[in-house]
């Protein structure tokens, strides 16, 4: 793999043997391993031992979760904030686990639309709540850095269960995350 990175550097006109680039192939591979860790982790391990019985039956929201991912079309970063809400059905998840779930699904080559759905689907399966809402706001460097040079944010949502069936529930979620 390091030889591939060396060849890539040479292909773009760089000297992979110059001082500043000599360790770049190794550093690049370490970075790539970190940014794609989602392929090597089972998300069920994240929630193992972190689901608890409750009588609480009102909406729970974790908002402004920072995430970083890689666009599967260009392998350039996109990043932003995810907002996740659910209504328990006798069980809740430890609050710190929701950002870890977002991170897990963002740590692979992604489309933002799929990232949003994967988070919502996983929480529906893991918790069996009355419903889940996920909104992801992303800034895509593949649009900003390339010839398009557009400063645009993509907003995607996935609503499941009561969040999909009941407009009042969906509206409450949107209000709690600061969207109307």
State which residues form the domain around 20: 2-35
Give residue 152's pLDDT. 80
CA distance linking residue 96 with residue 50, whole number of Å: 9
For residues 57 and 26, membership in a common domain is answered with: no
Contacts of 68 (CB under 8 A, 6+ apart): 35, 77, 78, 79, 106
CA distance linking residue 18 with residue 86, whole number of Å: 52
For residues 129 and 54, membership in a common domain is answered with: yes
In order of 1, 9, 119, 121, the CA distances from 102 in angstroms are 28, 33, 6, 12
Q: Are the CB atoms for 16 and 24 separated by under 8 Å?
A: yes
For residues 31 and 55, membership in a common domain is answered with: no
Residue 105, domain CATH: 3.30.1130.10
For residues 31 and 88, membership in a common domain is answered with: no
Give residue 180's pLDDT. 67
Number of domains in the chain: 2
In a domain, 40, yes or no: no
In a domain, 67, yes or no: yes
Give residue 151's pLDDT. 81
For residues 16 and 52, membership in a common domain is answered with: no
Give residue 18's pLDDT. 96
Q: Tens place of pLDDT for every residue, the chain, 180 residues?
A: 999 999 999 999 999 999 999 999 999 999 999 999 999 999 999 999 999 999 999 999 999 999 999 999 999 999 999 999 999 999 999 999 999 999 999 999 999 999 999 999 999 999 999 999 999 999 999 888 887 777 889 999 999 999 999 999 999 999 999 976
């Amino acid at each position: 793999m390091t030889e591939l990175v060396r060849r890539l550097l040479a292909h773009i006109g760089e000297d992979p043997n110059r001082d500043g680039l000599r360790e770049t192939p190794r550093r690049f591979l370490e970075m790539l391993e970190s940014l794609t860790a989602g392929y090597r982790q089972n998300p069920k391990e994240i929630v193992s031992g972190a689901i608890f019985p409750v009588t609480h039956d009102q909406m729970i929201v974790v908002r402004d979760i920072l995430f970083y991912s890689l666009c599967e079309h260009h392998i350039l970063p996109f990043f932003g904030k995810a907002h996740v809400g659910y209504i328990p059905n006798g069980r809740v998840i430890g609050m710190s686990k929701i950002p870890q779930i977002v991170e897990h699904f963002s740590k692979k080559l992604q489309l933002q639309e799929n990232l949003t759905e994967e988070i919502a689907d996983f929480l529906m399966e893991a918790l069996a709540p009355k419903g889940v809402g996920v909104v992801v706001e992303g800034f895509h460097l593949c649009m900003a850095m390339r010839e398009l040079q557009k400063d645009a944010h993509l907003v995607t949502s996935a609503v499941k269960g009561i969040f999909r069936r009941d407009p009042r529930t969906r509206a409450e979620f949107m209000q709690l995350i600061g969207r109307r």
